[in-house]
Amino acid sequence: MSIHEYVSKGAPESAHWIGVVTDTPNSTQARLAASGLEWEVEKTIIGLEMLFLVRLPEPSSEGFLSLGPEVLHAIRDGHGAVIERPTSFLDAISLSQGKSLDEATAATFANTDARAVEGALENMPEGPVRELVRVYLESISVVQSQHGIRGNGERTLKFISHFWELGDAGVTERFLQVLPKITGRGAASGGLERSAKQRPQFEARLSALECRVRLRR
């Protein structure tokens, strides 16, 4: 059973909570806000690291021990969807009317297919679903930036929608798997157009992402 199916059963009267330690609190908070799970911020540990407390959507009298890690991986790491695919929301994104975004506030990297989707996302109603989609886009744009994958956003939007259940990190990992085929077809014809200023940041993120993929294999 997925997390959103547990959540849809309604909050149990008594339940256990789990501590979630993260150094990506914005993404974690976006997942939590959309999930429908009950949660609280316990504290900032050091720097960006934060401890969230999340109530498990299963009564404490039931077998919740397997649910704890599942919720942890979805909320902390983005492995597993926290809500059912928001089909109507994704379908309503109009890629032809995307806005130009401020680099300082954009979640995605410039000159990526995901950036085109994020630009279009600005026309969608504000709310937790929009922010969750942004997390999906942010994750996949790291890889796209490294490999110069640009476009009008259509393929990224379809890819995210199709693999939604994997969670944002899961979608990106799936994207990494097909990357050789994508770049082999010349999709990366634009080359690596990132600026020298961006390089250290996204290379660190890419290597971290690739390291996570290796760790999970």
Partner 1 sequence: MHEKREAGKMRAPVGEIEAYWVELPDGVCPDDAEVRAECAGVVVHRSNPRQPLFRTDVPVEGATIENATTFTTVEQLVSGHAKVRACPAVLNEVEIAAEDCMRETSAQAVAAAFERALRNQQISREDYKCAALYLTAFAEVQSKQPCSDSPEDTRALLMKFWQLGDMSAGEAYRERIARRRHVPTLDWIAEAEREG
**Residues within the interface to partner 1 (CB under 8 A):** 14-21, 23-27, 40-42, 45-46, 48-49, 51, 53, 60, 65, 68-69, 72, 76-77, 104-107, 138, 142, 201-202, 204-205, 208-209, 211-212, 215
Q: What is d(CA 149, CA 101) in angstroms, rounded to the nearest whole number?
A: 18
Residue 62 Cβ vs partner 1, minimum distance, rounded to whole Å = 12
Residue 79 Cβ vs partner 1, minimum distance, rounded to whole Å = 11
Q: Specify the residue, 11 or 188, whose C-beta has the smaller distance to partner 1.
A: 11
Alpha-helix residue ranges (DSSP H) falling in 147-191: 154-162, 167-184
Residue 19 Cβ vs partner 1, minimum distance, rounded to whole Å = 5
Q: Specify the residue, 53 or 124, whose C-beta has the smaller distance to partner 1.
A: 53
Number of helical (H) and strand (E) elements in the chain, helices listed first: 9, 3
Q: Specify the residue, 95 or 213, whose C-beta has the smaller distance to partner 1.
A: 213
Taking phi over 0 as left and psi of -120 to 50 as alpha, with beta for the rest, 111 belongs to: left
**Rg of the Cα atoms in the chain:** 18
List strand residue ranges (DSSP E) for 33-120, in order: 39-44, 50-59
What six digits make up the tokens of 28? 């974690």
Side-chain-facing half-sphere of 34: CA atoms under 13 Å: 28
Residue 113 Cβ vs partner 1, minimum distance, rounded to whole Å = 17
What six digits make up the tokens of 133? 């989609």
Q: What is d(CA 210, CA 200) in angstroms, rounded to the nearest whole number?
A: 15
Residue 184 Cβ vs partner 1, minimum distance, rounded to whole Å = 26
Q: Specify the residue, 60 or 189, whose C-beta has the smaller distance to partner 1.
A: 60
Buried b / exposed e over 150-187, threshold 16 CB at 10 Å, is: bbebebbbebbbebbebbbbbbbbbbbeebeebeeeeb
Q: Specify the residue, 60 or 123, whose C-beta has the smaller distance to partner 1.
A: 60
Q: Specify the residue, 41 or 92, whose C-beta has the smaller distance to partner 1.
A: 41
Residue 87 Cβ vs partner 1, minimum distance, rounded to whole Å = 27
